[in-house]
Amino acid sequence: MTAERRIISHLDDLLELYGQPAEASLAKEINTISPEYQRMIECSPFALLCTSGSGGLDCSPRGDEPGFIRVHDDKTLLLPDRRGNNRLDSLRNIIEDSRASLLFLIPGVGETLRANGHAVIVQDAQLQESFAVKGKPPATVIEFTVETIYFQCQKALVRSKLWESDYKISRDQLPSTGEIIKAAKKDFDAQAYDAQYPERLKKTLY
Surface-to-core class of residue 122, CB atoms within 10 Å of its CB (0-12 exposed, 13-18 middle, 19+ buried) = middle
Residues 6+ apart with CB under 8 A from 204: 83
pLDDT confidence bin for 4, thresholds 50/70/90: confident
The reported pLDDT for the residue numbered 193 is 96
Domain 24-162 is of which CATH architecture?
Roll (2.30)
The reported pLDDT for the residue numbered 9 is 95
pLDDT digits (tens, 9 = 90+) for 49-78: 999 999 899 999 999 999 999 999 999 999
Is the four-CA dihedral 149, 152, 153, 158 of positive or negative sign? negative
Instruction: Give the mean model confidence (pLDDT) for residues 125-138.
Output: 97
pLDDT confidence bin for 13, thresholds 50/70/90: very high
pLDDT at 1 over 60: no
Instruction: Give the mean model confidence (pLDDT) for residues 88-111.
Output: 98
Domain range list for the chain: 24-162, 169-206
| Residue 22 backbone zone (phi > 0: left; psi -120 to 50: alpha; other: beta) | beta
pLDDT digits (tens, 9 = 90+) for 185-200: 999 999 999 999 999 9
Output 4 or 196, whichever has higher pLDDT: 196
**Distances in Å between the alpha carbon of 38 and those of 42, 73, 74?**
6, 10, 8
The reported pLDDT for the residue numbered 2 is 64
